[in-house]
A and B are shown apart, each in its own frame.
Chain A
Amino acid sequence: MSGVAIPWPVGGRLAQPPGNAGNFMLATVYILLIFLGISLGVIIMNWAERKVLAHMQVRLGPMRVGPHGLLQPVADALKLLLKEDLVPQGADRLVFWLAPVVVVMAAFSAFTAIPFGPTAAVSDLNIGIVFVLAIASLGVLGIILAGWSSNSHYPLLGALRSGAQMVSYEVTIGLAVVAVLLHTGTLSMVGIVRSQIESHRWLLFREPVAFGLFAVAMVAETNRSPFDRPEAESELVAGYHTEYSGFRWSLFMLGEYAGMMLVSAVAVTLWLGGWTRPFPNLHGGGVDVLFSFVPAASFLLLAGLALRAALKMPGHRRWRAQRGGLLAFGGLLLGLGLWLTVPTVRAQSQNVFWFVLKVAVFQYFFIWYRATFPRYRYDQLLRIGWRILVPTALANLLLSATLSLWLP
């Protein structure tokens, strides 16, 4: 950042994130909010993945627990908590216990540097993106620990695959990120978004190749289909978490989904203008006001859908509880939507809304890939990583470095 003070796009009470202001109380509140938000996101993602995946495969997905299976995540969580927590014979108990904790901690703690708005971050580190990538890479350690400590064949094979895969694709991620940093001139996450606001252009339009490379590599980095070699169920049972059950397994799942959101959040921050709304250059003629009503409108739309579904339910005695629950849910959404139309709330919340919406689009893409692509073979995966992605990333980096001498 070239030291030019830019006015914050949307005025808040704070001039900077609480971590930078030294406000530990507020930072703690933000951490708790982010923790709750990510957990809620994982719950929604759990339902949405099963539902979207099912519909893409011309199935219905969960339908029995709550209307359209809305309470399915609750049932799943209950089941996981009540399951027996097995530790295999001969397992390294301490490491076996530590591994899922490492995965979850790595995925969650990297969120401290992600800006949901100009001031809506726990802390704006001056090495933000490096910190996020470094902490996110710790996840692979957890996976390798899990594979090693299980004292079993399949987890070990899965962990080895995961190690090779993640190390390979992190090279691509690093090179793609460096191409972005050429244009921003700062490592701070807030600074990266502000530089995009300053230049009136999302970096997607400046670095599309780097974005494409990152979009492929982040799927491999989070062990998602079609790069889900470490947990390839047709050959490795469940990969590195074969021996895990109950609560510890759910920690792995939590870590995986939080990791997906993390890499999506990084991609959104770096290439898609972070918290800025679509068409951030259009201001006049009530466009600002129009866009500020979008969060409220989308919540009201969801509320309308829920209430319509509740009213359309057959008037049978068995459906009474479900109808009541859905009515309450729709009412909650309606209240949130109405609350979001309050001018001060509208101004405060829209940054977070646009950020979350962009991340949600990425989550949809993750599910979409899973529904579409068959799993890559192990050698194919590494070949794509080292022989296509890394050379392309290098060439793109050199090219954009050269071009940026003449182009802004």
Chain B
Amino acid sequence: MNRRQFLKRVSTALAVPTILPASALGLNGTVAPNNRIVFGCIGIGNRARHVMPSFLAQTDIVFATVSDCREDRMKSAKEMMDTHYGNKDCRMYPDFQELLAQKDLDAVFIATGDRWHTTASIYAARAGKDMYCEKPISMCISEGRKLVETCRHFGTIYQAGTQRRSTASYRFAVEMVRQGKIGRLHTVEIQVWTGPTIGHDKPAPVPAGWDYDRWLGPVQWRPFVPKRVEGANWNYFWDTGEGPIIGMGCHYTDQMQWALGRDHTGPVEFEGQCTWPDPAKFMSETPVNAEVRCRYADGIVGVMYSRKQSADRYIRYIGDEGWIQVDDATDAVTAHPKSILNLRGTASVDWINAGDHVRNLLNSIRSRRPTICHPEAAHRAQTICQAMNIGLRLGKKLRWDPVKESFDCEAANRMRHREPRAPWRV
């Protein structure tokens, strides 16, 4: 914040009211308004309502605006903000580009559906905003690379919403692996749930208050089919989501990359099998059960299973002298030898709490130093899941050059990119 901006804010904040609450001046331990980071939120759905408490708990930020293409969601988001701040100041913008045009905003929280993540992030970066963007950060590899370049170009502080890097259980596991407590690591095992299937459904009129065209955004137009859109269903169609391997898997590939210290590179080989939904019964497109392997150049193998229930998800690091595992649903850490667990000092912060992850972003916004899930790290973790999916879709083993970011297969290389629907070119 420079002096001019400071004076501007002070003059608007101070000049009008005659009675000043002490909190406005930062007298009771709160952060003075002119030192708060002003946030906007793009896309306020289920996920945003989950994370928002972690944001609102931070006293040095203020949410000034919200944007959503669904009127009901936008209104209820405004209500949430206004209730929290005890005023009526939260502004609403059906068009997120208008939100981004607001000069008072310093940063945005992007929690749209997956199809919008990268495009919205790039627009936000161009508008000079810092951001926290929910995972998965992109829908294709080339889009992710563009995001990395854009953030670098504009000096954007960007935090990917893979918040497990900021929770105690995962930090502990990674520490143990790095300290060699399980010997030499050779395998990272990951399990996400079985991909759901969705039966065929007819189109229906777009519900009142939805800007469906904006909801689709960069995705090819198609009629409004309730079961493709509702709840988390959009996760299971290729143009709006990519199934549990990406939707959830990117949390764990992110952990794997972090534990291995490979944030700027990635595996060199991908291979897997899966079962697909029967098209005669289901319209969903993403795999049901899957087992996908990736191999790093030094021989370390990552295996991702998509099987069983949501509650069964875990990540396990296996070395030649033992293993350590974090069960995601319970946040329980188990290990062999059990003695490893004695080293665990800190009380745990559950993965549900994104507070520390938000804190990390806020510190970076002030210090201008990279976040813990900076774009390059997030893009590399995301690339692994995307390469897995490409291998499954093509039904073949792929070799990957993490320097050039290209496959040994022309068909796979073509699948690194998808054309957005005009005018959403980035």
A, B bound? no
